[in-house]
């Protein structure tokens, strides 16, 4: 008998996607909303609810992706400033001749 495969649900798929986010974003209201919508969608069998919740889940996931993109851009800018500061401090240290 072949091994039984785990049943894939919307809730499991969204949870897996959220697990890849940084902790701060995983606990954000956008992420929590996505998980709650996915849980409801997984539990319901009413076709009208499935359609409306699916639409809301897609919109919430799009919003979450925008938040992630903005956070990434902000992180890149901060990393860039940190690198510039480190380079500047390195040149200041070399100019004064002290290591500290």
Count of domains for the chain? 1
pLDDT tier, 43 (very low <50, low <70, confident <90, very high otherwise): very high
What is the pLDDT averaged over residues 24-34? 90
Cα-based distances in Å from 55 to 62, 78, 81:
11, 35, 40
Q: Does 50 fall in a domain? A: yes
Q: Which long-range contacts (CB under 8 A, 24 or more apart) does 81-84 make?
A: none
Q: Does 79 fall in a domain? A: no
Q: Does 97 fall in a domain? A: no
Distance between CA atoms of residues 79 and 60, nearest Å: 28
- pLDDT of residue 98 exceeding 60, the answer is no
Distance between CA atoms of residues 85 and 91, nearest Å: 10
- pLDDT of residue 93 exceeding 60, the answer is no
Range of the domain at 38: 10-70
Of 41, 33, 39, nearest in space to 60 by CA: 33
């Amino acid at each position: 008998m072949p091994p039984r495969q785990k049943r894939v649900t919307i809730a499991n798929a969204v949870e897996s996607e959220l697990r890849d986010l940084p902790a701060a974003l995983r606990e954000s209201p956008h992420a929590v909303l996505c998980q709650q919508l996915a849980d409801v969608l997984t539990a319901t069998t009413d076709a009208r609810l499935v359609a409306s919740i699916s639409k809301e889940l897609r919109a919430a996931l799009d919003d979450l992706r925008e938040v992630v993109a903005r956070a990434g851009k902000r992180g890149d800018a901060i990393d860039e400033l940190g690198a510039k500061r480190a380079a500047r401090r390195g040149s200041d240290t070399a100019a004064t001749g002290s290591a500290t």
